[in-house]
Structure 1
Amino acid sequence: MKKKFIIDTDPGIDDAMAIFVALKSPEVNVIGLTTIFGNVYTTLATRNALHLLEVAGRTDIPVAEGSHVTITKGTKLGIADFAHGADGLGNQNYPPPNGKPIEQSAAAFLVEQASKYPGEVTLVALGPLTNVALAIQLDPAFSKNIGKIVILGGAFAVNGNANPAAEANISGDPDAADIVFTSGADILTVGINVTHQVFLTDADREKLAASNGKLAQYLCKIVDVYYCYHYDAYNTKGIYLHDPTAMIAAIDPSVITWTEGVVRVQRTGIMRGLALLYNNQKRFAEVTEWSDKPSVKVAVTVDAPKVVKMVMDRLMSS
């Protein structure tokens, strides 16, 4: 049976790549997209999600619009338009999509689908975790009903990409992230300690451009802004495959190895957004906010060549 996926997303150039990879993966049945702020504001994320489904010829997939504010009603959002363009898709200024989001909120849609298919749905969370935390608050059974949550988030034992302490998705709503990580759901989080090992080179890009893949051609059009950002920020010629790596890990967990432990998120101060793993190797006598919290899986290594090949093959076969 195909795996049922819901993709919680803030498209975003690498989100677009991850969505296309999922849509072209024979192992996966994408049953919905939910949208969240991050690379762009939520309204534009919804527009981009609908547009990407039209490009892929999959307008049968519902899109549920997510929260416009953080879990604590914060409106000061860290939007990454400097990396993805003002429109989130490389400043191509595509016309508005014909489709509309469904009436349900993202959180309500997540709760409904998890309840409808208990244990069967994989939620791939590619942006800040506000919608997921709202679903947990909306339905106490959500954490058990959802089959698995694969998160792109954290910067375990390396510097962040939003600031030296924090990775962008966790930094986008640290309070929500802490709710999700301590919810008891079956969670695998793929941090930038892993995704920074997965790199799409200029040669890979040229191979995509030379292919007959419709979605590969589309991505080659939008990716210039993202390449420029990487060159300016990291002095590299190529791009990190953050979202596609998390997506491939959801499709084929054999591409990564992981450790397990409690993850908590710093919610205040200069370290706000820092996700920290407690590896359970020391038993602490005192009762603290780490005590009796459920463990999650944290990716530690990745088969980078295999991930790049899987991404390339799916895009070029489109």
Structure 2
Amino acid sequence: MKKLWVDLDTGVDDAQAIMLALSRPNVEILGISCCHGNTPLKNVLQNTLRVLKVCERLDIPVYKGCKLPLLARKQHASDYHGKDGLGDVPDPDPPSLDLLQKKKGPDAMVEAVKKNPGEVTLVATAPLTNLAVAVQLYPSFHTKLKALFLMGGNINSRGNTTVCGEFNFVADPEAAYIVLDRFTCPTYIASWEFSCASSLPWSFCDQWLAQCTVKAEFMKKITEVSRKRAQSQDYQKEITSGQGFNSCDCYAMAAALDESLMLHNEQVAVSVELEGALTRGMMVVDYMELLKKKHKANIMKKFDLEKFQKMLLKSLQ
């Protein structure tokens, strides 16, 4: 069994990533830690339980993580995900928050990794606050991970939240800096520009959501707001290349589930800018090796989109 820990801020693409993982019979999700991000933490917690309920997997433990960034002002992505994070689709019978575990997210994450040293793959699709807190509290935590897969950052200084910054990193630049500086396990990054360049045709999205299942019907409802936003002229100006369905978080999750999807990665040291007036939160890619960092991250460059589409289709069956 492939053991996963998932750290997220459940918006629409996080929900899609959860469903991807749950569709794989050889995957065990040890736990899910929730973080501020796409929507306030209370919504993230509720949304995560909603997705697990649709998938009939409320047995997976869900933990409350950080509701605020380390230093930055909190911000959300309601323009894309809806105010509640899942397209503002009412749930007449939402799962009770009493289902949440009592232990805090960063502590639970560390405990699970300590119990399974060298076996746990951590997939992070939110601002990296929980991970930064975990490694600050337990400095050797990252050395016991099998690998880290994250969605965040940018490789060509093309932002989607600020001029030069991607949302997850901009939402907590200090946390992103700590994680990229301290984590020395194998690290794989699905950047903003990579996800844009790897977008799928809207015709595939139609096929994906047309499946006659409870999961597909749920996904179709919660994606209406984000699809409308993604097909707007303003959004098309933001993306770097390709026009179509772009489930950012699913690239990191899919790669963690099946590394063969990554057809080409680029190994390079990375960091995060913290002080620039226009560049705060931007991921720095050190091609000249001026940072003198031994640890290199694997930056995803080319993906097996045919296999990726098959995985997405199966996730809603």
**Partners of 1:55 and 1:200 in 2: CA distance:** 25
SS where residue 88 of structure 1 aligns? coil
SS where residue 149 of structure 2 aligns? strand
> Are 1:77 and 2:74 matched, yes or no?
yes
- Structure 1 residue 90, shift from structure 2 partner: 0.9
Of 79, 87, 92, which aligns to 1:90? 87
Seen in structure 2, the aligned counterparts of structure 1 residues 60 and 283 have a Cα distance that, compared at 3 Å, is closer
**Partners of 1:154 and 1:306 in 2: CA distance:** 24
**Greater alpha carbon shift after TM alignment, 91-100 vs 178-187:** 91-100
> Are 1:188 and 2:194 matched, yes or no?
no
What is the letter of the counterpart of residue 203 of structure 1?
S
- Structure 1 residue 225, shift from structure 2 partner: 0.1
Aligned length: 306
Structure-2 residue corresponding to 1:287: none
Seen in structure 2, the aligned counterparts of structure 1 residues 306 and 197 have a Cα distance that, compared at 3 Å, is farther
> Are 1:234 and 2:235 matched, yes or no?
yes
- Structure 1 residue 313, shift from structure 2 partner: 2.5
Do 1:205 and 1:220's aligned partners in 2 also have CA atoms closer than 8 Å?
no
**Greater alpha carbon shift after TM alignment, 292-301 vs 153-162:** 292-301
Structure-2 residue corresponding to 1:21: 20
> Are 1:37 and 2:36 matched, yes or no?
yes
Do 1:5 and 1:30's aligned partners in 2 also have CA atoms closer than 8 Å?
yes
Structure-2 residue corresponding to 1:243: 249
Any idea what the Cα deviations from partners look like across 1:135-173, whole Å, max 9, x if unmatched?
Answer: 101111101112111000111125121123111111111
SS where residue 30 of structure 1 aligns? strand
**Partners of 1:305 and 1:130 in 2: CA distance:** 33
Of 263, 281, 302, which aligns to 1:273? 281
Any idea what the Cα deviations from partners look like across 1:77-102, whole Å, max 9, x if unmatched?
Answer: 12001101111111102143125211
SS where residue 123 of structure 1 aligns? strand
Structure-2 residue corresponding to 1:161: 160
What is the letter of the counterpart of residue 94 of structure 2?
P
Seen in structure 2, the aligned counterparts of structure 1 residues 239 and 158 have a Cα distance that, compared at 3 Å, is farther
Structure-2 residue corresponding to 1:254: 260
Q: Percent identity?
A: 31
Seen in structure 2, the aligned counterparts of structure 1 residues 188 and 128 have a Cα distance that, compared at 3 Å, is same
**Greater alpha carbon shift after TM alignment, 131-140 vs 210-219:** 210-219
Do 2:157 and 2:282's aligned partners in 1 also have CA atoms closer than 8 Å?
no
**Partners of 1:261 and 1:47 in 2: CA distance:** 37
**Partners of 2:289 and 2:199 in 1: CA distance:** 38
Any idea what the Cα deviations from partners look like across 1:45-64, whole Å, max 9, x if unmatched?
Answer: 01111111111100110001
Structure-1 residue corresponding to 2:296: 295
What is the letter of the counterpart of residue 7 of structure 1?
V
- Structure 1 residue 217, shift from structure 2 partner: 1.9
**Partners of 2:292 and 2:205 in 1: CA distance:** 47
SS where residue 127 of structure 2 aligns? coil
Any idea what the Cα deviations from partners look like across 1:163-186, whole Å, max 9, x if unmatched?
Answer: 231111111111111110111232
Do 1:197 and 1:304's aligned partners in 2 also have CA atoms closer than 8 Å?
no
RMSD: 1.7
**Partners of 1:207 and 1:300 in 2: CA distance:** 26
What is the letter of the counterpart of residue 87 of structure 1?
D
What is the letter of the counterpart of residue 227 of structure 1?
R
Any idea what the Cα deviations from partners look like across 1:171-203, whole Å, max 9, x if unmatched?
Answer: 111111111011123211110221112334332
**Partners of 1:179 and 1:129 in 2: CA distance:** 9
TM-score, normalized by length of structure 1?
A: 0.91
- Structure 1 residue 237, shift from structure 2 partner: 7.1
**Partners of 1:27 and 1:258 in 2: CA distance:** 25
Any idea what the Cα deviations from partners look like across 1:6-39, whole Å, max 9, x if unmatched?
Answer: 1111110111111011111123111111101111
Do 1:174 and 1:273's aligned partners in 2 also have CA atoms closer than 8 Å?
yes
